[in-house]
Structures are given as C-alpha cells and as structure tokens.
C-alpha cells in the first residue's frame, strides 16, 4: 500500500511535504537561524537576503525563524485534532453499532443532526466559554470530524456487514470478533484515514482563521496564523509580505488533502486503474456526507464527498 501511495505523484508530493514539515518542526526545537521573537527596530521590513532569508516584519523579527518555530504549532494542532477526531469517532462508532437498538437509533439521529454544525461555530461557542486557545482549535475540529467519521463509518459498516464475503465468513463459522478484525476494520480503514487527513487539513486552516480573529494561538506562541494576522495589518503598505505564511499554510493543507485522496485511491479495490487515472484529484469539500448523486443519504466511499464545515480560515 505504501509503495502504491508513493508511486502516485500526488501521494509522493504529500508524503514529501508532510515529512519535511515534521523534520523542520524537530529542527526548530534545537535550532532556528535567529531568535524568532527578537524584535530589531533597525531592521524593519528588511527584504529577503542572506541575513534574513524571507526578510523581516514590522517589528524587525526574522520571518524565516518565526515560520520555522511555527511549524511546531502546525504539527501539534494537526496531530492533536487527528487524535481527538479518532477517539471521538471510534467511541461514537462503537456506541452506534454495539449497543441496544434504541441507543443505536438515537445515536444515528443525533449524528445526522450534529454533522450539520459548522466547526467554526463550535469553536466560537467554546471560545465564549473558555477563552481562545489552541486547545479550542484542536477540540472543535476533533469533535466535528469525530462526528463525521462516525456518520460515514455507520453507512460503510452497514454496507460491509451485508456484503457477500461477510455473510460467507459468518456461514463458515467465523465469530463476531473475527468478522470485526478480519473484515470490518481493514475495509473501513481507508475511509477513516481519508477523514483523518481532512481533519488535519481543516485544523491547520482553523488555526489560521481563529488566530486571525484573535482567538487562536496566544501572542507568545509562534504560529503561522499569528504571523498572517500580524502581516494583515500592514496590507496597505506591504501587501505581498504575507506570501510566506500564506503559502506555507496552503502547501501543508494541500498536502494533507492530497494525502487523503491518494490513500483512498491506493487502497480502494473497487477503483480500477482507469478510474484512478480519470479521477486524479478529488475534492476536499467542507462537511460531511454529502448526498451522493443517487440521493442516498449514506455517504459513499467512491464519492469525493468527504469533508469540513467551513472553517475557512
């Protein structure tokens, strides 16, 4: 599977960008070209050069060092959101499929309702209560995607459980645990991975959006969102300065959503080679299970309908 992932150009791009991001985050722990927070009143708005690779900002901070230090925040927010989404998703899926009938039906209706709540509004609600922080970004993105994962998984599990091979396995004496580990988990895993990578992409955008609104990373934390927000104030004078953080965020978000597409294409046995070629890049839309063309409310793995409520950052 890994090899199939790397032979696709999109998969290769995604793995390289994300690998680089993690390496840079580790490097920033021990070394940055300069102190990312040191303001230098004599070096405001220095152009990019050997001393300051990406130039300096309004207070004379070295943009390259600040961006490098910010990779840590990006990695933490993305990974944290992924973990929360997995835990919430797995718990909700378990409750939705292993409990009594009434609880299952209730969970199904609740998921249908919760999936419509936009991530950003969840974040604003939590911010009104607890004040802004990176934790809010992680929790609200994690909750939103946990719900999405559980909802998508419900349809998928129902489909797999009714499939011929599971019926055959049952008939030949495989117990519920065997069906779970041998058929359900491996078949649902790609879908899960796709949603996780989308959750992480959304988290990176959400960090930028909420930091811009003043409710994300504190000013003592180096984050790409904070840098974007700072540079936005000088848009009239230095309109192009925000290119660095803007492009960095876009690159990572694109890599994460391409990773999801590539994983799905590389693991879905129902896609023939021709389909793969034709499909190329599929969508990262922004919310859950969009009704497929057939209008079936259960999201279909083939449909690029997967996603993120508009935390349009």
Partner 1 sequence: MTRFLVGRLLLLVVGLLVASIIVFATLRVLPGDVAQVVAGTQSTPAQVEQLRQQLGLDRPVVVQYLDWITGVLRGDLGRSLVTNGAVGPEIAEKLAVTLPLAGMSLVAALLVGVPLGVLAAVLRRRAGGAVIGFLAQAVAAVPVVWAGMLLIALFAVTLHWLPTQGFPLDGWGEPARAFSSLVLPALTIGAVEGAVILRFTRSATLSVLDADHVRTAAAVGLTRTQALLRHGLPSVALTVLAVLGVQIAGLLVGAVVVEQLFSLPGVGRMLVTDVGRRDVTKVQSELLVLTGLVLLVGFAVDVVHRALDPRQREVGE
Q: Where on the chain is the footprint of partner 1 (CB under 8 A)? A: 109-110, 112-114, 116-118, 120-121, 124-130, 201, 205, 208-209, 212-215, 225, 228-229, 231-232, 235-236, 239-240, 242, 245-246, 249-251, 253-254, 257-258, 278-288, 290-295, 304-305, 307, 309-313
- Give whole-number Cα distances, 170 to 160, 163, 189, 259, in Å: 12, 11, 21, 34
Q: How far is the CB of 267 from partner 1 (least distance, A)?
A: 18
In the block, residue with structure tokens 């645990």 = 177
Q: Which two tokens stand for residue 139?
A: 């929790």
Task: Classify residue 225 by its DSSP letter.
Answer: H
Minimum gap (Å) between residue 311 Cβ and partner 1: 7
Q: How far is the CB of 280 from partner 1 (least distance, A)?
A: 6
Nearer Cβ to partner 1 (41/47):
47
Pick between residue 41 and residue 294 the one whose CB is nearest to partner 1. Answer: 294
Q: Would you say 166 or 224 has its CB closer to partner 1?
A: 224
As measured in angstroms, the least distance from the Cβ of 120 to partner 1 is: 5
Cβ–Cβ under 8 Å, residues 227 and 245? yes
- The closest alpha carbon to 306, from 202, 203, 180, belongs to 202
> How far is residue 40's CA from residue 57's CA, in Å, rounded to a whole number?
10
Cβ-based nearer residue to partner 1, 76 or 136: 136
Secondary structure of residue 286 in the 3-state scheme: strand
Q: Cα separations (Å) of 98 from 66, 91, 93, 153, 177?
A: 48, 10, 8, 13, 12
CB of 134 to partner 1, least distance (A): 16
Nearer CB in complex with partner 1: 68/136? 136
- As a whole number of angstroms, the distance between CA 77 and CA 212 comes to 15
Of 179 and 225, the one with the shorter C-beta distance to partner 1 is 225
Q: How far is the CB of 74 from partner 1 (least distance, A)?
A: 12
């Amino acid at each position: 599977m890994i090899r199939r992932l790397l032979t696709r150009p999109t998969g290769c791009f995604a793995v390289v960008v994300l690998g680089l991001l993690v390496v840079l985050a580790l490097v920033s722990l021990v070394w940055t070209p300069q102190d990312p927070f040191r303001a230098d009143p004599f070096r405001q708005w220095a152009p990019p050069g050997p001393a300051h690779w990406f130039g300096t900002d309004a207070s004379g901070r070295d943009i390259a060092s600040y961006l490098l230090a910010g990779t840590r925040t990006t990695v933490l927010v993305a990974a944290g959101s992924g973990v929360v989404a997995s835990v919430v998703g797995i718990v909700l899926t378990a409750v939705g499929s292993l409990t009594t009938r009434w609880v299952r039906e209730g969970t199904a209706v609740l998921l249908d309702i919760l999936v419509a709540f936009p991530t950003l509004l969840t974040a604003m609600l939590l911010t009104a209560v607890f004040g802004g922080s990176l934790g809010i970004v992680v929790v609200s993105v994690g909750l939103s995607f946990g719900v999405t994962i559980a909802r998508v998984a419900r349809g998928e599990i129902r489909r797999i459980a009714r499939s011929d091979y599971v019926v055959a396995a049952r008939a030949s004496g495989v117990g519920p645990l065997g069906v779970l580990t041998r058929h359900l988990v491996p078949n649902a895993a790609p879908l899960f991975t796709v949603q996780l990578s989308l959750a992480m992409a959304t988290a990176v955008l959400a960090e930028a959006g909420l930091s811009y609104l003043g409710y994300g990373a504190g000013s003592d934390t180096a984050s790409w969102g904070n840098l974007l927000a700072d540079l936005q104030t000088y848009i009239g004078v230095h309109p192009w300065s925000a290119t660095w953080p803007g492009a960095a965020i876009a690159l990572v978000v694109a890599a994460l959503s391409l990773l999801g597409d590539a994983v799905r294409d590389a693991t879905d046995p129902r896609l023939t080679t021709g389909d793969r070629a034709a499909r190329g890049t599929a969508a990262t839309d922004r919310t859950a299970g969009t009704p497929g063309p057939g209008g079936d409310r259960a999201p279909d793995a083939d449909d690029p309908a997967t996603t993120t409520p508009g935390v349009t950052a």
